[in-house]
Structure 1
Amino acid sequence: MKPERIGVVIEAKDEPGVLHELTGVIARHRANIASIEILGSPLAGLSRLYFELDLVTQPKALLDELAAVPAVQSVTQEPSLQKIYGKRIIIMGGGAQVGQVAIGAISEADRHNIRGEHISVDTIPLVGEQALAAAVRAVARLPRARALVLAGSLMGGEIEKAVREVRAQGLLVVSLNMAGSVPDAADLVVSDPVQAGVMTVMAVADTAKFNIARLKRRVF
């Protein structure tokens, strides 16, 4: 039986040991934790936790036992973020170039999402070698991030090292054709920023037939 992924929001007392109790309940129901995030709560002394769980059984028994934990105030089942937002594409770099890449990515994502795909696009204008290198490395820790587009005029040094690190972790990296060593480290190099956004979406969309591995060249 294929596991079903669900989202679960739990409001519980903000105190030591609560997370341990909750994960113990989840383990007893043979549910696999795909992701977890601790959210803020407007109420003092409480914390909101969001789990994405893969279940092979009906969720009711699990939800009932979670609600019975003494520290828990409420338990709510929600659609998973994977189902709502789907794959994430992150665009970072100089503001003007980021905006142009986003135009291509959002336009292409719209075309695929209408056909049943789920792709979302995040942008962050950033400058500076250390800031960009840290941001590149952080993308590998973002839930559902599938691709990174680096948009700028000059990137290298520590950013190149970060690109090679995240690629080794399975992240697709697309770079604009710019000065510096980052283009040499990327999976794909595209000169036109709008086209870079389009091609990145095509590369991660299940509804597209575009496959970077089948390209005979990597610079466009």
Structure 2
Amino acid sequence: MITDTDMYALSIITENRAGVLRDVATVMANYRANIQMIQQSIITSGPNTGKAYLYFEFEECGNHPDLIADLARVPSVVDVTIYPPFSRIFGSRVIIIGGGAQVAQVALGAVNEADRHNIRGERISVDTIPLVGEQNLALAVDAVARLPRASILVLAGSLMGGEVSRAVDRVRGAGIPVIALKMAGSVPEHADLVVTDPIQAGVFAVMHVSGKAVFDINRVRGREF
């Protein structure tokens, strides 16, 4: 099993043209760097505006200086920098989606609980997005399964159901547990856990993600608090 201690990250700035990703990936393959994650975007501000930004996380390949040197020799590459992976910096992610007031209260509990764990060496981050509308919420919930390092989802709102409930089933099917506030609609029937107090919901979410807490959502699945 690959852990974050086996992983490294590279950020690469390149010319924005076809074939760059192929050229960079070929060099990494030559060093048997097993790529675990890749992101690509166009830089929109600063001195490198218009250039491409590539981010890789890869399994230990054992010869980083030579790898970086060979990547820097690729004609389209402007800059190469090696970093620790996101898992070692931002860690596991708690995702909170829903109405602004409820999201803020869940985040209050989650951030305070995460702080308690992070000062002891863990890495737990909290991501929030206030949204309204069934379609917007369903799209956001579905996207959680595609977010790197997303470990648990909290749905914070007063009324959620329909397509949102079906999206919850898909996220749970992808292995991400879901906590829902007690609310109108069918979402609570589809969640792993229903919590009345939004602050407590945030605390539960972080405790489940933590490697040191004793709370496990699998032991209370289907219950309401």
Q: 1:216 to 1:152 in 2, by over 3 A?
A: closer
Kindly indicate whether residue 198 of structure 2 is the aligned counterpart of residue 198 of structure 1: no
* Partner residue in 2 for 1:176: 181
> For the Cα contact (< 8 Å) 1:5–1:80, is it kept in 2?
yes
Which of 94, 115, 120 aligns to 2:120? It is 115
> How far apart are the structure 2 equivalents of 1:216 and 1:93?
21
Q: Provide the residue aligned with 2:23 in structure 1.
A: 21
Shift of 1:143: 1.2
For 2:50 and 2:220, locate their aligned partners in 1 and report how far apart those are by CA, in whole Å. Answer: 54
Shift of 1:28: 1.8
Cα deviations by residue, 1:161-209 (Å, 9 ceiling, x for unpaired): 0000011011121100111111111111111100000000000111212
2:37 maps to which residue?
35
1:218–1:75 Cα change, 3 Å: same
Kindly provide the CA deviation profile for residues 38-69 of structure 1, in whole angstroms up to 9, marking residues without a partner as x: 23324355211111111141322221221111
Name the counterpart of 1:166: 171
For the structure 1 residues 71 and 173, does the alpha-carbon distance in structure 2 shift closer, same or farther, using more than 3 Å as the test?
Answer: same
User: What amino acid does structure 2 have at the position aligned with 1:6?
Assistant: Y
Paired residues in the alignment total 220
Kept after mapping to 2: 8 A contact 1:164/1:185: yes
Distance 1:107 1:205 in 2: 13
Measure the CA separation in 2 of the matches of 1:188 and 1:159.
16
Q: Identity over aligned residues, as a percent?
A: 55
User: Once superposed, which parts of structure 1, at least 4 consecutive aligned residues long, lie more than 4 Å away?
Assistant: none
Q: 2:193 aligns with which of 158, 171, 188?
A: 188
RMSD (Å), alpha carbons: 1.6
TM-score computed with the length of structure 2 as normaliser: 0.93
Q: Secondary structure at the match of 2:183?
A: coil
How far does residue 157 in structure 1 lie from its aligned partner after superposition? 0.3
List alignment gaps of at least 5 residues for structure 2: none
SS in 2 for 1:210: coil
1:69-84 pair list within 5 angstroms: 69-84=74-89
* Superposition map of 1:151-162 within 5 A: 151-162=156-167
